[in-house]
Amino acid sequence: MKKNMFKFFPVSAHTDHIMPGGTFVCIKGYKLNGIDFIPQALEYGARTIVIEKSQEVPSDMLMLIKSAQAQVVYVDDARAALADLSAQAAGYPAKKLRIIAVTGTKGKTTSAFLLRHMLKKAGYSVAMLSTVHNSIAKFTHKDTLTCRSGYALNNQIDTSQYGECHVNEEIFPSELTTAQPDYVHQFLKTCVDKGVEWVVLEVAAQAFSLERVRGIFFDAAIYTNFTPEHGEFYPTLKEYAQAKARILEHLKPDAPLIFNADNQAVAQSVGFYSSAIGVTKNDLTNRPYPESIMGVYNLWNIHMAALCLARVLPQYSAEHYQQLVMDFAGVPGRLEKYVLKNGACVYIDYAHSSAAVAAVLSALREKTDHLIVVNGCGGDRDKTKRPLMGCDSAAWGDLVFITSDNPRSEDPMAIITDMLAGIPPAHMYKVVVEVDREKAIRAACAQASPSSIIALLGKGPDEYVIIKGVKYPFSEKTIIANL
């Protein structure tokens, strides 16, 4: 993986990215206020300071700005201004690209990876902004038309030759599901400069609420599902649902929206849209799918991704696009499989909500008679899901280790106590508490027989742990490899 694509932005809300002559947008966050960082921004060369009209600026700060020969611009909404100014500075790159957005409580990342895979296999230059990483794959085949249409023979696609069409895909780290606007627009500008045709974009609910995708309009979208989540940000489920439904505001005229019609909350939110296409469980095909994909929920992801592409690139049917996933390698941190020396299988997964935990463990339960679960909950996040995740872990697992996972500012044992509160007394006999996550993983693997499956839930692709504001290296893959 390459280092971050950009160090400096022409417009930014973080002083680390300020460049000489640049613009610093002061955003009042939940813990910090951008106004307090104006001196650093000026020191790094900012010459325009954007401040929300509702903010009070100390007189000495205004004098400092004046002495640095910088100008102040007052705006109604600093987050909106960050998006607008970032787009303007980048030359409005989103208008020059075709963009597919994916939203939903779970399934966003897998759906994004599937869309990217199908587009690459169909011969398109494609970029992706996702939770796991960001990427740009440039189409390099000397004869684009041959690669795109020449392999469709006898109503089938010869997938064996598509690998020749792409080389040197660039992979970049990702810090958020949907990056801040300063990054997003510079990324999109790079896509335009490199000749990318399609961009697949994961869009979290917070991205709508915090104006991260303001001014970006989608050629198509997928709404995977809706379940309770992000209680730390949205006081009510209604507010969370309303944020997700804002995807309708970002669709281009007549752009298709593929949605999960069996999910009542999703159907109520977007089902009335004239170009919405609902998918039910009855629509899921029984086509073969790769070993890297398991669980009914991933059949939804495959089918909706294929149907989406069939609408925007109708030269192939949805069935054809589905066929392109047969060599799909999977998604880092999403049911990522490792095999121990004794033959037991370890699956690392990002599941960090009750619905996701249940979906993953139900899929693994079908493959073993001895399921070991290692699970924890993140600190400074939705506390209401902790007892539910504890309950689901104990309901599906034969042996359950309740442990720590990014406690952040909280006491790890307090988080574990919240999880234990949801486990019925009848299931407590199979529960082990081990605050140290590495010790919990090692103990779980030590209890495994050749036919066992160990599910490591919560961290997924993340290779760090956050304790009291400090990020420490922590890799479940490395721990497993060293057993």
Alpha helices in 180-231 (DSSP H): 181-193, 205-209
> What is the CATH classification number for the domain harbouring 63?
3.40.1390.10
* pLDDT value at residue 6: 79
Q: Looking at the DSSP assignment, which residues form a beta bridge with residue 73?
A: 50
* pLDDT value at residue 3: 66
288 & 163 share domain: yes
Give dist(CA 258, CA 283) in Å, integer: 12
118 & 42 share domain: no
**Residue 149 — very low, low, confident or very high, per pLDDT cuts 50/70/90?**
very low
Q: Which residues contact 87 (CB under 8 A, 6 or more apart)?
A: 93, 94, 181, 185, 215, 216
103: in domain: yes
What is the DSSP-derived secondary structure letter of residue 30? S
In 3D, which of 283, 269, 220 has the Cα closest to residue 105? 269
* pLDDT value at residue 418: 98
Q: Is the pLDDT score of 100 beyond 70? A: yes
Which of 162 and 313 is assigned the larger pLDDT? 313
Stated pTM of the model: 0.91
317 & 352 share domain: no
58: in domain: yes
2: in domain: no
Lowest mean pLDDT, pick from 12-21, 135-144, 158-167: 158-167
51: in domain: yes
* pLDDT value at residue 294: 84
Lowest mean pLDDT, pick from 95-99, 328-332, 385-389: 328-332
117 & 64 share domain: no
Judge contact between 134 and 333, C-beta under 8 A: no
Q: Is the pLDDT score of 24 beyond 90? A: yes
Give dist(CA 392, CA 396) in Å, integer: 6
76 & 183 share domain: no
What is the DSSP-derived secondary structure letter of residue 180? -
**Residue 339 — very low, low, confident or very high, per pLDDT cuts 50/70/90?**
very high
Q: Is the pLDDT score of 143 beyond 90? A: no
Residue entry with tokens 């796991």: 132
Cβ-based neighbour number of residue 331 at 10 Å: 26
Percent of the chain with pLDDT over 70: 93
**Residue 61 — very low, low, confident or very high, per pLDDT cuts 50/70/90?**
very high
Select from 27, 60, 87 the last residue of a domain: 87
pLDDT for 236-273, tens place per residue? 999 999 999 999 999 999 999 999 999 999 999 999 99
**Residue 2 — very low, low, confident or very high, per pLDDT cuts 50/70/90?**
low
4: in domain: no
Q: Is the pLDDT score of 453 beyond 90? A: yes
* pLDDT value at residue 438: 98
pLDDT for 407-444, tens place per residue? 999 999 999 999 999 999 999 999 999 999 999 999 99
* pLDDT value at residue 162: 45
* pLDDT value at residue 288: 67
* pLDDT value at residue 110: 95
Cβ-based neighbour number of residue 329 at 10 Å: 10
Q: Which residues contact 83 (CB under 8 A, 6 or more apart)?
A: 181, 211, 212, 213, 214, 215
What average pLDDT does range 138-165 have in this prediction? 47
* pLDDT value at residue 175: 86
80 & 115 share domain: no
395: containing domain: 336-481
196: left (phi over 0), alpha (psi -120 to 50) or beta: beta
> What is the CATH classification number for the domain harbouring 424?
3.90.190.20
153 & 227 share domain: yes
What average pLDDT does range 343-364 have in this prediction? 95
208 & 123 share domain: yes
* pLDDT value at residue 164: 47
Select from 72, 87, 102 the last residue of a domain: 87
116 & 65 share domain: no
* pLDDT value at residue 30: 87
314 & 216 share domain: yes
> What is the CATH classification number for the domain harbouring 284?
3.40.1190.10
In 3D, which of 106, 4, 98 has the Cα closest to residue 331? 106
Q: Is the pLDDT score of 159 beyond 50? A: no
**Residue 333 — very low, low, confident or very high, per pLDDT cuts 50/70/90?**
very high
Q: Is the pLDDT score of 150 beyond 90? A: no
What's the whole-number average pLDDT of the chain? 92
1: in domain: no
In 3D, which of 480, 112, 168 has the Cα closest to residue 330? 112
Judge contact between 400 and 431, C-beta under 8 A: yes
95 & 70 share domain: no
442: in domain: yes
254 & 105 share domain: yes
* pLDDT value at residue 1: 61
Alpha helices in 402-470 (DSSP H): 412-420, 437-446
What average pLDDT does range 71-81 have in this prediction? 98
3: in domain: no
As for how many domains the chain has, the answer is 3
Select from 70, 87, 104 the last residue of a domain: 87
